[in-house]
Amino acid sequence: MGRHRLRRALGASLVEMVAGLLILSFVTASVVSMYTTGRQSHRRARFYSKSQTEIRYALREMTRRIRTSNALLAQGTQGNLSGIASSSFQVVMTVPSGGGTKQCRYYVSNGILYRQTSTQSAPGTPILKDVVQLTFAYYKTAAGTRISATGAVGSATEVEILLQARYESVTTGLAAYVTLRSVVAG
């Protein structure tokens, strides 16, 4: 009888083996699920970061140019850009250039943000791709009160830029507020 107990203690029954495999399969499935979820989260965070970096670069480029512009071109302004005027979807301005001025605009065409100057042919220089939305809002500050200047873009002292772009599976956006130095300084 002692030998029988010893043999039984050394081996595992079929039920014990199935239970062990079942527990092992649950643990394995949980680990794979956590790994997959973590990997997807990491990819989304990387795409978000990349998109934010590219949008910041584009906004920095636009805000520098707008901040140092001489004036925003309003509806009906004639110039080297064929009378193109500022609107809620593009900004057109005159900028200092080698002792004179030239016109410059930022706009989106086919999902690409372009900068075009009066010395360039259309479409201009690409700045950012996969743009979902680009809008401009114009404001004028008078006596400490900020009022909309969308109807009178030429009198605007501030520009609000909203830029949204997509990178892989992530869409994100940023906003920037720019005060025109030359207009405010007089």
Using CA atoms, how far apart are residues 98 and 30, in angstroms rounded to an integer? 65
20-47 pLDDT, tens per residue? 999 999 999 999 999 999 999 999 999 9
E runs forming strands in 38-144: 71-72, 91-97, 100-109, 112-117, 125-128, 131-142
Structure token digits, residue 135: 């809008």
79-136 pLDDT, tens per residue? 556 677 788 888 988 888 888 888 899 999 999 999 999 888 888 999 999 999 999 9
| 9 SS3 class | helix
* DSSP state letter for 19: H
- pTM, two decimals, is 0.77
